[in-house]
Amino acid sequence: MGSARGPFRIVFICTGNICRSPAAENIFREHARRAGMLPDLAIDSAGTGGWHEGEGPDPRSVHALRGAGYAAEGTARGLRDGDFLGHDLFVCMDRSHVRDVVARGAPRDRVVLMRDFDPARGHDEVPDPYYGGDEGFAEMIAMLEASMDGLLGRVREEIARKRGGA
């Protein structure tokens, strides 16, 4: 992990970094702001591939985020070698992302599935809405929101441990 005084670095991971991971990044940033945790965090997102490098979020994701009251910011990028050393927590949208991130060098104990933090989840992945309609993006937002309290709790614990408080 980073230094005891540095921010806790969290990165959200999906395939192309235009739908799920930028939505998770924006939703988490807002929930962290409401919880007063934003100053302690460095929040980012990335894709397992760089197909959309430099693009903004998918317009359907932007529409769903704004409709739910969130910002819709971000620029797509692929994971870089430095990400594996510089981040404290890798939050993946599905199991294929977990496999890829671990295979590329992230410590397994720092790689989690987003839905692991939703106590009422019916399954453990956030489905990719890219090839579907608007309803898939609304469902994605609901799944991400349902995971936020649990994820914030995990991050609080990690920050306390990082600072020697746990």
Nearest-5° Cα angle at 73, 71 to 75: 165
Give pLDDT tens digits for 47-81. Answer: 999 999 999 999 999 999 999 999 999 999 999 99
Query: Does the residue 3 lie in any domain?
Result: no
Alpha-carbon gap, residue 14 to 122, rounded angstroms: 20
Query: Does the residue 166 lie in any domain?
Result: no
Q: Which amino acid is at 55?
A: E
Q: Is the pLDDT score of 4 beyond 60?
A: no
Query: Does the residue 85 lie in any domain?
Result: yes
Which residue segment(s) compose the domain that 110 sits in?
A: 8-161
Query: Does the residue 1 lie in any domain?
Result: no
Per-residue pLDDT at 36: 97
Q: Is the pLDDT score of 1 beyond 80?
A: no
Supply the residues annotated as catalytic. 14, 20, 128
User: Residue 131: which of 15, 11, 25 has the closest Cα?
Assistant: 15
User: What totals of helices (H) and strands (E) does the chain contain, helices first?
Assistant: 5, 4
Per-residue pLDDT at 3: 44
Give pLDDT tens digits for 92-122. Answer: 999 999 999 999 999 999 999 999 999 998 8
Q: Which H/E stretch holds residue 44? A: strand 41-47
Number of domains within the chain: 1
Give pLDDT tens digits for 20-38. Answer: 999 999 999 999 999 999 9
Query: Does the residue 101 lie in any domain?
Result: yes
Query: Does the residue 140 lie in any domain?
Result: yes
Query: What band does 9 get if pLDDT is binned at 50, 70 and 90?
Result: very high
Residue 152, Cβ neighbours under 10 Å: how many?
17
Q: CATH no. for residue 138?
A: 3.40.50.2300
Query: Does the residue 41 lie in any domain?
Result: yes
Per-residue pLDDT at 90: 98
- Which pairing describes strands 89-92 and 8-14: parallel, antiparallel, or unpaired? parallel
Q: Which H/E stretch holds residue 90? A: strand 89-92
Query: Does the residue 68 lie in any domain?
Result: yes
